[in-house]
């Protein structure tokens, strides 16, 4: 099944470059391009893309507002935020708006393609340094508590959680642990259920808060 992608960025050359990169994969199709947030909301309604690559700062209308509006009207759409730097000050705000991940504009082409496909498959795509920033933000809060769910994880599930904490996608986890992608998905689902969280970000925060990541390198 072809993944339909809408590109939203006010820089023409960047959009053209992304379109060329995504066009190298037969499973991806760029169905439209926009230069501002309001246009993205309108185009998303008409084109019904699977994934929207959304810039944040655009003169004609910001990407955060557009992300929230698109997802309010089309909950099935996945929005991946385009960032110039992976320590973008808008990362947390974008997550709150419903973004499914972050695509750093300087990522290698193969990683961009893989990230878009993983996002379309339902994964939350966060680069390692983005995760570090998120974890630092949450860990500094005084409401950290014990996480008894960690004790129920099997050795393999702990390995998967550690790989998630490194920002690896399901495909990359499978390659690292010599597991089929379907098996990885099963492990991820079980990890989230045992920890009592709804997404990968929360699981990674728990891994860091509990000392699991530091203790295991």
Round to whole Å and give the CA distance between 147 and 207: 9
Within this chain, do residues 110 and 36 fall inside the same structural domain, yes or no? Answer: yes
Within this chain, do residues 120 and 145 fall inside the same structural domain, yes or no? Answer: no
Within this chain, do residues 83 and 42 fall inside the same structural domain, yes or no? Answer: yes
Within this chain, do residues 22 and 107 fall inside the same structural domain, yes or no? Answer: yes
Q: Give me the pLDDT at residue 128, please.
A: 57
pLDDT per position as a tens digit, 184-193: 999 999 999 9
Within this chain, do residues 146 and 112 fall inside the same structural domain, yes or no? Answer: no
- Domain limits for position 40: 3-125
Identify whether 151 is part of a domain. Answer: yes
Q: Give me the pLDDT at residue 60, please.
A: 86
Within this chain, do residues 7 and 112 fall inside the same structural domain, yes or no? Answer: yes
Round to whole Å and give the CA distance between 84 and 112: 14
Count the neighbouring beta carbons within 10 Å of the beta carbon of residue 209: 18
Q: Give me the pLDDT at residue 78, please.
A: 92
Within this chain, do residues 84 and 187 fall inside the same structural domain, yes or no? Answer: no
Residue after which a domain boundary falls, among 125, 157, 172: 125
Within this chain, do residues 165 and 184 fall inside the same structural domain, yes or no? Answer: yes
Within this chain, do residues 31 and 70 fall inside the same structural domain, yes or no? Answer: yes
pTM above 0.75, yes or no: no
> Do residues 174 and 208 lie in contact, with contact meaning Cβ atoms separated by under 8 Å?
no
Q: Give me the pLDDT at residue 86, please.
A: 57
Q: Give me the pLDDT at residue 216, please.
A: 46
pLDDT per position as a tens digit, 147-191: 778 889 999 999 999 998 888 889 899 999 999 999 999 999 999
Bridge partner list, 79: 52
Which CATH number characterizes residue 163's domain? 3.40.50.2300
Residue after which a domain boundary falls, among 102, 125, 148: 125
Residue after which a domain boundary falls, among 97, 125, 153: 125
Q: Using 70 as the pLDDT threshold, list the residues of the chain that sit under it.
A: 85-89, 126-146, 214-217
Strands 3-8 and 78-83, by their bridges, are unpaired
Q: Give me the pLDDT at residue 134, please.
A: 64
Give how many domains the chain has, as a whole number.
2
Residue with tokens 């960025």: 9
Q: Give me the pLDDT at residue 25, please.
A: 94
């Amino acid at each position: 099944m072809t993944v339909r992608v809408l590109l939203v960025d006010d820089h023409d050359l960047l959009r053209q470059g992304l379109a060329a990169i995504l066009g190298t994969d037969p499973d991806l199709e760029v169905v439209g391009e926009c230069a501002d947030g309001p246009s993205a909301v309108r185009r998303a309604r008409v084109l019904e893309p699977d994934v929207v690559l959304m810039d944040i700062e655009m003169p004609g209308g910001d990407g955060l507002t557009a992300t929230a509006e698109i997802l309010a009207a089309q909950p099935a759409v996945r929005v991946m935020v385009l960032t110039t730097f992976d320590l973008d000050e808008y990362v947390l705000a974008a997550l709150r708006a419903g973004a499914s991940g972050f695509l750093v504009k300087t990522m290698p082409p193969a990683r961009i393609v893989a990230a878009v496909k993983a996002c379309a498959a339902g994964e939350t795509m966060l680069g390692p340094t983005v995760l570090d920033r998120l974890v630092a933000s949450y860990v500094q809060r005084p409401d950290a508590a014990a996480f008894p769910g960690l004790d129920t994880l099997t050795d393999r599930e702990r390995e998967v959680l550690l790989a998630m904490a490194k920002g690896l996608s399901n495909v990359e986890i499978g390659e690292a642990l010599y597991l089929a992608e379907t098996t990885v998905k099963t492990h991820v689902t079980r990890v989230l259920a045992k920890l009592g969280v709804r997404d990968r970000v929360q699981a990674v925060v728990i891994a860091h808060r509990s000392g699991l990541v530091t203790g295991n390198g």
